[in-house]
Amino acid sequence: MKVCIYGLGAIGGLLAARLAARGEVQTSAVARGATLHTLQQQGLTLIEGPPEQSKEQRHRLHASDNPTDLGVQDVVILSVKATALPDVAKHIAPLLGPDTTLLSMMNGVPWWFFHGLPNAPEQIQLTSLDPDGRLVAALPCDRVVGTVTHLSAANLGPGMVRHVAGNRIIIGEPGGGTATPRAQAILQALQSAGFDVEPSEQIQKDIWYKLWGNMTVNPISGLTGATGDRILDDAYVRQFMSRCMHEAAEIGRRIGITIDQDPEDRHQVTRQLGAFRTSMLQDVQAGKAIELDALVGAVLDIARQVHVAAPNIETLMGLSRLHARTLGLYPA
């Protein structure tokens, strides 16, 4: 199997290193700048285990900033930020053959979310994600297999990644299940690479449930600079998060995805993570564009089209967007 990782950040680097280590998968990556230089000169370094017992391994893989150099793949893993997808859409074509699968491994609502989703309203448009249809044209929905990741990794520098916590990947076809040959092949490859892989009956439900938990804490952390524990310790903030989550649960119900859990129960799950920095907080601190549309904007797209009032989510979006715009991290 030929697999290319498009987006060699923390999660992409973890995937690339583990797949390359198995030797059963011909692994390559699209990378740029200092990361590409390090990969070409030294390889990709993965650090696993607690600091006092960590193990460091270096892996060689074919990398280029030009997809044409890598050729047609069996699977392309999209592990980029949602903000980078328009650029991916411009350059990905040389990697795609008639049978290439796109493994979507990203935060928030993906561009393909309504493809195959049963009982969903017809013709919902995710204009905040794909206003002109270029993503759907370049990254066809029928090529996609979806995932939800419950793991974390840290990028320690060009070509160096540390596995921090978690090992679980949920995988599923947009139309439901994992019975297709392509889903089974990917599932087995990820299992062989050491991940705990869980088949999903309906991957969109798993995506929406994870979004329900992080669509508030991510932007609030980016806005305030606070870690997860401090956010949840503030009663006013936690109650605001719960109001947003009640709105999101109703939006989900209108598209056929029911969440039976109470927001307070979900907060307790988040609290177990301790003083963590969300991905959006890390992006703000690093001066990188934030994934606000995938986490919040797309939810409002859906809310308007299924006629659910979402004033709290609108407030979350407005404040977060204004803050990001003043920092130059969200387009004007």
Q: Could you list the active site residues?
A: 210
As a whole number of angstroms, the distance between CA 111 and CA 91 comes to: 17
- CB under 8 A, 24+ apart: contacts of 36-40: 36/63, 36/64, 36/65, 37/158, 38/158, 38/159, 38/160, 39/8, 39/63, 39/159
| β-sheet bridge partners, residue 63 | 29
As a whole number of angstroms, the distance between CA 115 and CA 144 comes to: 9
Q: Which residues, in sequence order, are CB contacts of 52 under 8 Å at separation 6+?
A: none
Q: Which residues, in sequence order, are CB contacts of 261 under 8 Å at separation 6+?
A: none
The interaxial angle of helices 203-224 and 279-286, nearest 10 deg, is 40
Report helix, strand or coil for 70. Answer: coil
Element (H, E) at 101: strand 96-104
As a whole number of angstroms, the distance between CA 18 and CA 151 comes to: 14
Nearest CA to 116 out of 32, 26, 203, 27 is that of 203
Nearest CA to 274 out of 241, 237, 230, 240 is that of 230
Which residue bears the tokens 């859409």? 89
Distance (Å) of CA 258 to CA 212, 248, 261, 264: 11, 10, 9, 17
